[in-house]
Structure 1
């Protein structure tokens, strides 16, 4: 059974790797085309229908790029579609959400001090919120507000803040920001899959059948692409936030997320303006710094912590009771309390650490058995923890963790078999 845990962790690593690679490809191509589109220039000798052109140099070669505002007079034989970067980024992110947060719901997703949810209820909220959120956003875009893009962006920001607050009412801080990132990424990929690509296919089909394409389809796609451009940087922040308790472990994490969205707007506004050669809005630097200082200040606010009993934080589940009663647990508990809990505590005693890394608490019996798999992976099967072995965990202690975990897994298998 311990081998399954290791394989499962490697699966999570592989999917995360895929997610990061495809995200880099998607964001890279997105930023490139935004910069290209804004930097196009008019020239007197351009072919009919060409909106602008740009000369670029890269890797020892020169590139001459022209953009047709609606479409060329005829369909080119070789047409490259940029779509799979977006699709695979979302699919791999969804798989990672299932592997880490759905399969590990009791540890990473559910915060019983906020909402006492069953695992299936938490997963349903997780999945349903992504779907409903997209439907609300899509309705706003199709409601006529496309003619008032600034108002539409304000309403989108309000929607994101409502979702951030709502997630923080039911999920752990880590899951709240991660789900907000997933919600935003769902909007971005759905824009590509359900709006931008279908509109481009209509234009291509019109060209193939000899009709003049309607420019409205390009205008609709352009609006959604602009939204994606301003949402990209916040999504990256939210993707990485689960590694930084300063971001997710504050009771004001939903406000921090809101400031991050504003920060994404100011940063992209600067670069978009520069690429369009419409000035040098250096004021955005000051606003960005002030927003980031606001984020730093909010992150120091007291954590939202529930009261707990020194002897036991909560009742143990049947699985946790098996782990707590397995041979070797008492020794493992002493090891964890002596080597780990000075950092992984509700009030850490290690200098420079103000809150438990990744919000992982290892103070009570309940804490330890709930984090059994993580303890096994981080301090038993590997020596990832303690970092740099600053608390001098002995190899014999690591072997005791492995032995206890495997015995508990065997007891768990027997329990399942007889029940």
Structure 2
């Protein structure tokens, strides 16, 4: 289950990036077609029956574009469509539960972590290595508040952020940043054992 938590975090990150990239593509194509419509010449009585046309240059070539208000007599088999960006953006939105939803659906109430074997040791580690920044009144110079509003200066705060602690300080060395508070490798192992015990319990 603990390894599933890491996989879940990777999948969530991939879906977020997919959402961002397809959203940018959707907005970009929308602006392109708006600009295309505004630039069409509609006063040329085109023999093709098109409503308007435009000539554009890009990438060393010249593009001749015509817009039809209704489908022409012969539709090309390879008609390009610009719909996938919007569909994928909306579908990825539906696949993005909030952080609290992940917690509620995959991990259960925070009390489960506080009661898991090894929590007291993890609490000592987090209080010694993380709470100088992640507290109501950070002791680290230059911080006006806890990063991302995450408070790790109490048992409740540690239990509520169990998954983040496991991913950021147990599985990886992302936290503490640049290992400024010198979290030992053995301490990271204690965090991993605690979280896995909670997930298996």
**TM-score higher than 0.5:** yes
Counterpart residue number, 1:379 = 169
CA contact (8 A) 1:49 1:71 kept: no
For residues 258-407 of structure 1, what are the structure 2 equivalents within 5 Å? 319-407=109-197
Task: Find the residue that maps to 2:6 and give its secondary structure.
Answer: helix
Unaligned runs of 5+ in 1: 107-317, 413-419
Q: Secondary structure at the match of 2:97?
A: helix
Q: Which is richer in helix?
A: 1
Whole-Å Cα distance in 2 between the matches of residues 28 and 80 of structure 1?
A: 16
Partner of 1:97: 97
Q: Which residue of 2 aligns with 1:77?
A: 76
Query: What are the equivalent positions in structure 2 for 1:33-112 lying under 5 Å apart?
Result: 33-42=33-42, 44=44, 46-47=46-47, 49-68=49-68, 70-71=69-70, 73-78=72-77, 79-97=79-97, 100-105=99-104
Note the C-alpha offset of 1:42. Answer: 4.4
**8 Å contact kept, 1:40–1:52:** yes
1:375/1:64 CA distance change after superposition, 3 Å: same
Task: Give the match's secondary structure for 1:53.
Answer: strand
Compute the TM-score of the two structures, normalised by the length of structure 1. 0.43
CA distance, structure 2, for counterparts of residue 340 and residue 73 of structure 1: 66
Find the counterpart in structure 2 of residue 25 from structure 1: 25
Partner Cα distance (1:17, 1:354) in 2: 29
- Between structure 1 and structure 2, the one with the greater Rg is 2
- What root-mean-square deviation, in Å, do the aligned CA atoms of Structure 1 and Structure 2 show? 2.5
Whose RCO is larger (CA < 8 A, sep 6+)? Answer: 2
Kept in 1: contact 2:113–2:119 (CA 8 A)? yes
**Structure 1 residue 73 displacement after superposition:** 4.8
Task: Give CA-to-partner distance per residue, 1:231-260, whole Å, 9 cap, x none.
Answer: xxxxxxxxxxxxxxxxxxxxxxxxxxxxxx
Q: Residue 122 of structure 1 corresponds to which residue in structure 2?
A: none
What does residue 8 of structure 1 align with? 8
Look up the SS of the partner of 1:326 in the other structure.
coil
Structure 2 unaligned runs (5+)? none
